[in-house]
Amino acid sequence: MNALPFQLTAVFAQSETTMAEGVDKLGFMPYIVLVGYLALLLALGVFGWMKSRGGEDDYYLAGRDQGWVVTSLTIMATFFSSFALLGAPGMVYRDGVVFALFSLNVPVGGLTVYLIGGRIWKLGKKYGYVTPGDLVADYYDSKYGLRILVAVAGFLYAIPYIVMQIQAGGIVSQKLFGDDTFATGAIVLATITTLYIMIGGMRSVAWTDVIQGAMLIVGMLVGGFAMLLVFDGPGDFTHRVATELPASSLTAPGNSGIWVWTKTMTLVVLASSGSMIQPAQWMRYYAARSLTALKRSAVIFAAVLTSCFLLGVMLIGLAGQVLYPLQFEVAVTPEEKAEWQLLDDTPIHSAFSVSQEKVAIQWEGKARPELRDQDFAHLKSLNLGPQWNGSIDELEKSFNDAGTRPSVVPHPEVDEDPSDRKDFDAIILVVLNEKLPDALGSFGAIFASLMIVAIMAASMSTADSNLHSLSAIFTRDVYDQYIRPKASEQERVWVGRLIIVAASALAVGLVIFGRQEKGATETVASHYDLLHMIAQLGFVAIAFTAQLLPMAIDVLYLRRGTKAGATAGLFFGLVGAFLFGPLFGMLADGSGLGILISLKSVIKALGTGLPIDGSAWGLMLNIPIFILVSCYTKSVDPVKQQQFADVVKGNS
Amino acid sequence: MESRRKQFGWILTVAFVIAILMGPGPGMLLVNRPTAHFGLPDLYVWGLFWYVVEVGIVVLAYFFVWHDDAPKSE
Whether the link from the prior residue into A624 is cis, omega within 30° of 0, is no
In this structure, is residue B57 part of a structural domain? yes
Residue in chain B lying closest to A647 (CA): B71
| pLDDT of amino acid A371 | 42
Q: Which residue has the higher pLDDT, A519 or A293?
A: A293
**Average model confidence (pLDDT) across chain A:** 79
| Contact criterion met (CB < 8 Å) for A298 and B33 | no
Q: Which residue has the higher pLDDT, A253 or A178?
A: A253
How far is Cα B11 from Cα B5, in angstroms, rounded to an integer? 10
Q: pLDDT at residue A7 above 50? A: no
3-state secondary structure of B73: coil
In this structure, is residue B72 part of a structural domain? no
Q: Assess contact for A302 and A225: CB atoms under 8 A.
A: no
How far is Cα A157 from Cα A211, in angstroms, rounded to an integer? 24
Q: pLDDT at residue A18 above 70? A: no
Mean pLDDT is highest, among A92-106, A159-173, A174-188, A382-396, for: A92-106
C-alpha distance from A170 to closest chain B C-alpha (Å)? 32
**With bands split at pLDDT 50, 70 and 90, how would you rate the model's confidence at A44?**
confident
How much of chain A exceeds pLDDT 90, in percent? 31
3-state secondary structure of B28: helix
C-alpha distance from A520 to closest chain B C-alpha (Å)? 41
Among A22-26, A338-342, A495-499, name the one with the lowest average pLDDT.
A338-342
Q: pLDDT at residue A390 above 60? A: no
Give the number of beta-carbon pairs within 8 Å between A and B: 135
Q: Which residue has the higher pLDDT, A474 or B70?
A: A474
The single-letter DSSP state of residue A116 is T
Residue in chain B lying closest to A297 (CA): B62
Q: pLDDT at residue A177 above 90? A: no
C-alpha distance from B70 to closest chain A C-alpha (Å)? 6
| pLDDT of amino acid A32 | 81
Each residue's pLDDT tens digit, B14-23:
999 999 999 9
| pLDDT of amino acid A334 | 55
| pLDDT of amino acid A398 | 53
Q: What is the mean pLDDT of residues A541-568?
A: 93
Type of residue found at A605:
A
Domains held by chain B: number: 1
Look up the domain containing B32 and give its range. 2-64
How far is Cα A222 from Cα A212, in angstroms, rounded to an integer? 15
How far is Cα A186 from Cα A225, in angstroms, rounded to an integer? 29
Each residue's pLDDT tens digit, B56-70:
999 999 999 997 655
In a mutagenesis test of the A interface, which of B6, B46, B55, B67 is the best target, namely the one with the most A β-carbons within 10 Å? B55
Burial of A65 from C-beta contacts in 10 A (0-12 / 13-18 / 19+)? middle
Task: Please give the ipTM for the structure prediction.
Answer: 0.92
Give the distance, in angstroms, between the CA of residue A591 and the centroid of all CA atoms in the same chain.
26
| Contact criterion met (CB < 8 Å) for B39 and A239 | yes
Each residue's pLDDT tens digit, A583-637:
787 778 777 778 888 888 888 888 777 877 788 899 999 999 999 999 999 999 9
How far is Cα A40 from Cα A33, in angstroms, rounded to an integer? 11
Q: What is the mean pLDDT of residues A158-176?
A: 81
**With bands split at pLDDT 50, 70 and 90, how would you rate the model's confidence at A413?**
confident
In a mutagenesis test of the A interface, which of B17, B22, B31, B40 is the best target, namely the one with the most A β-carbons within 10 Å? B40
Q: pLDDT at residue A438 above 70? A: yes
How much of chain A exceeds pLDDT 70, in percent? 79
Q: pLDDT at residue A255 above 70? A: yes
| pLDDT of amino acid A408 | 77
The domain locations on chain A are 13-324+435-483+490-514+525-648, 327-409
**With bands split at pLDDT 50, 70 and 90, how would you rate the model's confidence at A326?**
confident
Q: pLDDT at residue A378 above 70? A: no
The single-letter DSSP state of residue A481 is I
Mean pLDDT is highest, among A331-345, A437-451, A524-538, for: A437-451
In this structure, is residue B51 part of a structural domain? yes
| pLDDT of amino acid A16 | 36
Nearest to A177 by CA among A20, A341, A363, A351: A20
Q: pLDDT at residue A491 above 50? A: yes
Burial of A359 from C-beta contacts in 10 A (0-12 / 13-18 / 19+)? buried
Q: What is the CA radius of gyration of chain A?
A: 26
Q: What is the mean pLDDT of residues A410-430?
A: 75
C-alpha distance from B20 to closest chain A C-alpha (Å)? 7
In a mutagenesis test of the A interface, which of B57, B58, B60, B67 is the best target, namely the one with the most A β-carbons within 10 Å? B58
Each residue's pLDDT tens digit, A132-160:
999 999 999 998 889 999 999 998 888 88
Give the distance, in angstroms, between the CA of residue A420 and the centroid of all CA atoms in the same chain.
21
Q: pLDDT at residue A347 above 90? A: no
| Contact criterion met (CB < 8 Å) for A250 and B16 | no
Q: What is the mean pLDDT of residues A392-404?
A: 52
Residue in chain B lying closest to A314 (CA): B44
| pLDDT of amino acid A298 | 95
How far is Cα A28 from Cα A50, in angstroms, rounded to an integer? 33
| pLDDT of amino acid A364 | 32
In this structure, is residue B22 part of a structural domain? yes
Q: pLDDT at residue A332 above 50? A: yes
Domain range A13-324+435-483+490-514+525-648, CATH architecture:
Up-down Bundle (1.20)
Out of A110, A235, A652, closest to residue B71 by CB: A652
Out of A105, A235, A303, closest to residue B39 by CB: A235
